[in-house]
């Protein structure tokens, strides 16, 4: 029989898998709930900290399964959830969760996703009680493509904004007596949580780091580097 701590650790792994969360996003959840930044592992967390992380996963849409007792008081094993290919509904949930993780939407819960789906499909309150309704009406692809398009728009907008900040930061830093390249400017903005890391930065030989901001909600104003006058030039 598992101890309470072992059971809680197992739930963390289940939540990560069912939310399709990557390692970086998973570690950020652990850090926000008490895991040390230098070694963000669940092994370094107390059971109360793990419970707090599980609550955050639930807020992101994870639904822990409850096992029903079988006859005789024993518990049945839950049905296998292993899938070789994710369904379109799975993809909708994954995109929604990722957009919340990246800071593009405030609420990553299933309730918020359902409200958005109702708006897109013009369904009335109570008409949709589960995403599977989309499959019954043949609207899954439409909603999935709408969500993909929204994600592309906000992601491209954020990327373009960050690139503009990098380019405009170079002359402002020069005015302050700091001659830097665009790569060095990008590194400074990343270190101060003014921009988020982007795979494009790999072309500048800047590797991702757990110390960079991962969500737009974590970003700080550029005035933390340049002051009020310099930040107006970069805006």
Position 229 scores a pLDDT of 47
SS3 track for 7-47: HHHHHHHHHHHHCCCCHHHHHHHHHHCCCCCCCCCHHHCCH
Domain map (residue ranges) of the chain: 1-63, 154-234
- Nearest alpha-carbon partner for 78 in 64, 88, 91: 64
Position 110 scores a pLDDT of 83
- Residue in this structure with the two tokens 């069912």, named with its chain if needed: 18
Report the Cα–Cα distance between both ends of the chain, in Å, rounded: 59
Task: Give this prediction's pTM.
Answer: 0.60
- Residue in this structure with the two tokens 């008490």, named with its chain if needed: 34
Write out the chain's pLDDT in tens, 235 residues. Answer: 567 778 888 899 998 888 877 787 788 888 888 888 888 888 888 888 888 888 888 877 788 875 444 444 433 323 334 445 678 888 998 999 999 999 999 988 888 888 899 888 887 555 666 777 888 788 889 999 999 999 999 999 999 999 999 999 999 889 888 899 999 999 999 999 999 988 888 888 899 888 898 899 989 998 888 765 455 555 5
Torsion of CA 120, 61, 196, 225, to 10 degrees: 100
- Distant-in-sequence contacts of 45-54, Cβ < 8 A, 24+ apart: 47/4, 47/5, 47/8, 50/5, 50/8, 50/9, 50/11, 50/12, 51/8, 53/12, 53/29, 54/8, 54/11, 54/12, 54/15
- Residue in this structure with the two tokens 């309730």, named with its chain if needed: 111
Position 104 scores a pLDDT of 94
């Amino acid at each position: 029989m598992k101890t309470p701590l072992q059971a809680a650790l197992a739930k963390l792994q289940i939540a990560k898998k069912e939310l399709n969360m990557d390692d970086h996003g998973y570690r950020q959840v652990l850090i926000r709930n008490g895991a040390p930044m230098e070694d963000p592992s669940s092994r370094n967390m107390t059971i109360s900290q793990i419970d707090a992380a599980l609550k955050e996963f639930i807020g992101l849409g994870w639904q822990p399964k409850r096992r029903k007792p079988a006859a005789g008081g024993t518990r049945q094993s839950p049905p296998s959830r292993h899938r070789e290919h994710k369904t379109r509904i799975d993809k909708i949930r994954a995109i929604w969760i990722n957009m919340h993780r990246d800071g593009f939407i405030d609420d990553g819960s299933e309730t918020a996703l359902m409200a958005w789906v109702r708006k897109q499909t013009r369904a009335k309150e109570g008409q949709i009680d589960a995403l599977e309704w989309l499959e019954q009406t043949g609207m899954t692809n439409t909603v999935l493509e709408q969500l993909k398009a929204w994600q592309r728009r906000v992601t491209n907008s954020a990327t373009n904004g960050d690139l503009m900040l990098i380019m405009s930061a170079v002359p402002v830093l020069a005015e302050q007596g700091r001659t830097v390249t665009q790569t060095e400017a990008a590194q400074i903005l990343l270190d101060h949580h003014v921009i988020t890391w982007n795979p494009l930065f790999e072309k500048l030989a800047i590797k991702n780091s757990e110390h960079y901001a991962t969500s737009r909600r974590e970003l700080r104003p550029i005035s933390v580097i340049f002051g009020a006058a310099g930040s107006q030039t970069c805006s």
